[in-house]
Structure 1
Amino acid sequence: MFKPAVLCLALTFAAVPVWAEPLNYNVVSFSESAVATVNQDLMTANLRIQEDGANRQSVSNKVTERLNALNARIRNDKALKGALVNRSVYPRYSKQKIVGYTDTAYVRVESKDFQALSKLIAASQNEAAVDNLGFSVSAEKRSEAVNELSRQALKNFTARAKVLSETLGFGGRYKIVNINVQSDFRSYGKAASPMVARMANMEAAGAAPEMNIEEPGTEEIVQTVNGSVQM
């Protein structure tokens, strides 16, 4: 005798609408950016030490000697930071027979002191050749710029959200629905000129001239805030 009542109760609950989330009315999406131009403060040189010869041990010994001499110069100047990137030895063939060996070592050196690195390159011409030379913004300087631009971009975003709210008649009131911050880096740097590369490969009896670096280049850093607000 209780079955009809139970059925009626079940139907009553089923008919009640369930609102899991409010509808997102009055949502506006937009973006704001902050831009800064930063001077490139880090100079990086990729140096190559290479020897060829018929005897593998003799070839490798010569490369090791030259590598030790280069590393000693790097260690003597605290402004320089060097690292052995790669070293390899491979045989040279002629008519399927080994006729010699080539030993190559690659060293990357970086410094914020451009003059110190230029002196190292000039002093090491007998030990290493410059494969390439470039400039960039150091990690510390880039992080500092990104943090400051993020603050500015977020201020721009919230200021515009308030203006939109006032203009649309909501009295400057709004809630942030979602937000996304993106970074963009655009380098306007200078690579090593052919003259620099040739100069580094020359075998000069006297002291080699040093490079004068006045304009290493710049990097444009852009922080963009994309998001949505609900009025």
Structure 2
Amino acid sequence: MAKEGAGGGPDWNGLLKWSLAHGSDGTNPPRALSEEDRKWFMEAMQANTVDVVGRMKEIAQVMKTPDDVLQSHGVTPENIEDMLDELQEHVESIDMANDLHSIGGLDPLLGYLKNSHAGIRAKAAEVVSTVVQNNPKSQQLVMESNGLEPLLTNFRSDPSTTARTKALGAISSLIRNNQSGLAAFRLGNGHAALKDALGSDDARLQRYVLWYLEQLCAYPPMAHHCIFS
């Protein structure tokens, strides 16, 4: 059994003392470890090592679970949003972002873009944006999974301004330096959606669209697309 601190968590002070006693500061010569010390050290380290892929698989499984089953187990929309926050942290690594598809997590994530709760739709779009940002492989995977369509739908007509702006942010990351994505955006009347948003009464949405257009026009490979057609 690993030694624990006063709060029941890892005994970090004990770990530090152990490290110093065994010469990890370079001032003391290392001595032979007893089996008890070796076992405690390994357990202390393993207790604080996160299996990211394993955790992402667990999150993917939750995302695949029907809403009524989640509700019957006391899972709230806020719990799902917190879970998506965690997933977003994991997929900040490009390798983990690309692994999301291989572990079966990309399609259910895109499915959350159609969730009945606005907060989940918005948070799912944020995660998608992180997955595809500067990541051609994941951009392609999202396009192949028809991920642009629900993003465009949410940007056009979601009753939540936050969900609309997050959808636009994900669209921006998805089509940036992505010719097939940009072509699909144009074919999906994305520019018309931008025009409509600029003409809306929602000042927050207008500001976000103007920011998006500024970013688009400042990016040389895509600047000529600033002219709506």
TM over 0.5: no
Query: Would you tell me which structure has more helix in proportion to its own residues?
Result: 2
Higher relative CO (CA 8 A, sep ≥ 6), structure 1 or 2? Answer: 1
For normalisation by structure 1, the TM-score amounts to: 0.20
Larger radius of gyration: 1
Query: Would you tell me which structure has more strand in proportion to its own residues?
Result: 1
